[in-house]
């Protein structure tokens, strides 16, 4: 017989369609799924439930729609360089020396940092998908893993593009019934993947029903080569190649005009907005307000920890609000509740996972408990949400469950030895840097 865990909290933000906020609220979990949600008088009696009385606010786990978490190994490197030099002079040489164990330790530490800050799902693009999956599972993080499809001289070790795609499809097939890991097709970007493999990646993703995750229009001149060769913007080019027939998440999406936004809206493309990274690399101010007004789901994502540098959803939400308001010169755009949605229900929709991002019956039991004692003063009940976004930090997160399994207690990750992972990452980061 399945066991029932019953969580009682003074406040439960459900983030479902009507954004119900229960105070107090009850959440029942059976076999990793949410089985009942409501006020205490609304939920069925469960005499055999294990009851957990919590203090604080229970939220849906945060969904990080774009990350390269093993880059904790490269955090802080190349500070202040323009993005092309940052990549070619610092990131790629060090990444060329990464061993599978380096990636495993980087992912463990990245996953631990994310869980400790309330991120329960991360959509990752990085090398060695099985190493990524094993590390995520060990730490208890839910992960979507896209091995980056890259076609370039010097990257022969990745194999031909046909081999890379075949391996990505096989990885996805092997994890089709995995409760924690999903395989994703990840052509790196239109400017790094030639026409034929890009078209094929889109065809395969659509045919197999797999998510397709790629970088789009991060830098101002990223699309110049495509425009010179094909006479159209990157979104139009992707549309012409048929890539947008798949379910697509476009990371960054900074340099998009109204026509591009219309292309995304027509094809159901979602955007993973990375405001801190976009600020650090001076990439630009993404048209978040226009995208959302056009019906494009926009998730707020951390990008890699060499670009953020914290895997901190709270800082990311604030940056998203700051940049959207500065871009529009309007303090009324993108409020705290919008930002919260963009790391929960809207982010889940962006990555095609309607079973995540809300505390609702039938959804996965990915839950975050936040300490609300320092979120004050609460004059109106809604102040709590405003404070959570403007003043919350990863340290506000006290407990986290993924698929019903508790992975953070008293603010600490309980699944791995985080100090050991940090020591491994430091030693490996020094080795990677020393031979630069
Ligand atoms: Zn990225």
Are both 132 and 176 inside the same structural domain? yes
pLDDT of residue 151: 84
- At 221, the pLDDT band (50, 70, 90 cuts) reads confident
Quote the domain boundaries for residue 376: 4-60+361-413
Q: Considering the chain, what percentage of its residues have pLDDT values greater than 70?
A: 98
Domains held by the chain: number: 2
Residues 52 and 69 in one domain: no
Using the mean position of ligand 1's atoms as its centre, give its distance from the Cα of residue 46 in Å.
45
Calculate how far, in angstroms, residue 307's C-alpha sits from the geometric centre of ligand 1.
8
Same domain, 118 and 86: yes
Angle, CA of 85, 91 and 92, to the nearest 5°: 95
Asked if residue 184 is part of any domain, the answer here is: yes
Query: Is 17 contained in some domain?
Result: yes
Q: Residue 377 C-alpha to ligand 1 middle, in angstroms?
A: 38
State mean pLDDT over 98-106.
97
Q: How far apart are the CA of 1 and the centre of ligand 1, in A? A: 44
User: Residues 6 or more apart from 139 whose CB is under 8 A from it?
Assistant: 107, 108, 111, 112, 115, 407, 413, 415, 416
- Determine the distance separating the centroid of ligand 1 and the alpha carbon of 218, expressed in angstroms: 9
Ligand 1 centre to CA of 63 (Å) is 16
Q: What is the pLDDT of residues 160-199, one digit of tens each?
A: 999 999 999 999 999 999 999 999 999 999 988 999 999 9
pLDDT at 436 over 70: no
Q: Is 307 domain-assigned?
A: yes
Is 0.85 topped by the overall pTM? yes
Q: 122 in the Ramachandran plot: left (φ > 0), alpha (ψ -120 to 50) or beta? A: beta
Distance 332 CA to ligand 1 centre (A): 29
408: domain CATH number is 2.30.40.10
pLDDT digits (tens, 9 = 90+) for 225-251: 899 999 999 999 999 999 999 999 999
Q: Give the distance (Å) from ligand 1 centre to CA of residue 177.
A: 27
Q: What is the mean pLDDT of the chain?
A: 95
Distance (angstroms) between ligand 1 centre and the Cα of 214 equals 8
**Both tokens assigned to 260:** 């591009």
pLDDT tens-digit series, residues 392-422: 999 999 999 999 999 999 999 999 999 999 9
431 found inside a domain: no
> What pLDDT score was predicted for residue 177?
94
Higher-confidence position of 16 and 72: 72
φ and ψ at 163, to 5 degrees?
Answer: -65, -40
18 and 155 part of one domain: no
Do 23 and 165 fall within a single domain? no
Residues with CB under 5 A from ligand 1 (ion): 303
User: Tell me: the pLDDT tens digits for 314-364?
Assistant: 999 999 999 999 999 999 999 999 999 999 999 999 999 999 999 999 999
Q: Are residues 118 and 192 in the same domain?
A: yes
75 within a domain of the structure (yes/no): yes
- The answer on 32 and 112 residing in a single domain is no
């Amino acid at each position: 017989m399945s066991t029932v865990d019953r969580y009682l909290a003074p406040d439960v933000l459900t983030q479902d369609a009507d954004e119900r906020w229960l105070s107090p609220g009850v959440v029942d979990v059976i076999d990793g799924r949410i089985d009942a949600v409501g006020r205490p008088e609304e939920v069925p009696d469960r005499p055999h439930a294990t009851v957990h009385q919590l203090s604080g606010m229970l939220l849906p786990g945060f969904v990080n729609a774009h990350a390269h978490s093993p880059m904790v190994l490269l955090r802080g490197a190349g500070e202040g360089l323009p993005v092309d030099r940052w990549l070619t002079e610092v990131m790629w040489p060090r990444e060329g020396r990464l061993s599978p164990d380096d990636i495993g330790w980087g992912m463990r530490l990245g996953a631990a940092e994310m869980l400790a800050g309330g991120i329960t799902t991360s959509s990752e693009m990085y090398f060695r998908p099985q190493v990524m999956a094993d590390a995520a599972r060990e730490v208890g993080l839910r992960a979507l893993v896209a091995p980056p499809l890259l076609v370039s001289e010097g990257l022969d070790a990745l194999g031909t593009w046909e081999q890379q795609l075949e391996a990505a499809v096989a990885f996805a097939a092997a994890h089709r019934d995995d409760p924690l890991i999903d395989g994703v097709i990840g052509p790196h970007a239109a400017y790094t993947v030639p026409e034929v493999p890009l078209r094929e990646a889109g065809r395969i993703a659509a045919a197999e029903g797999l998510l397709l995750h790629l970088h789009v229009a991060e830098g101002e001149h990223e699309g110049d080569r495509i425009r010179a060769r094909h006479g159209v913007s990157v979104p139009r080019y992707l549309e012409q190649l048929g890539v947008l027939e798949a379910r697509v998440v476009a990371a960054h999406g900074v340099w998009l005009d109204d026509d591009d936004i219309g292309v995304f809206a027509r094809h159901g493309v979602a955007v993973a907005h990375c405001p801190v990274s976009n600020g650090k690399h001076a990439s630009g101010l993404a048209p978040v307000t226009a995208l959302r007004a056009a019906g494009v789901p926009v998730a707020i994502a951390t990008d890699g920890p060499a670009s953020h540098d914290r895997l901190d959803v709270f800082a990311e939400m604030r940056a998203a609000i700051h940049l959207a308001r500065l871009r529009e010169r309007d303090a009324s755009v993108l409020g705290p509740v919008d930002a919260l949605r963009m790391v929960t229900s809207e982010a889940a929709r962006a990555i095609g996972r309607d079973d995540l991002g809300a505390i609702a019956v039938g959804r996965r039991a990915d839950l975050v408990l936040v300490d609300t004692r320092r979120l004050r003063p609460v004059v109106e009940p809604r102040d709590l949400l405003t404070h959570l976004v403007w003043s919350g930090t990863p340290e506000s997160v006290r407990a986290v469950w993924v698929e019903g399994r508790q992975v953070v207690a008293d603010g600490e990750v309980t699944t791995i030895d985080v100090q050991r992972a940090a020591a491994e990452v430091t030693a490996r980061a020094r080795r990677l840097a020393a031979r630069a």
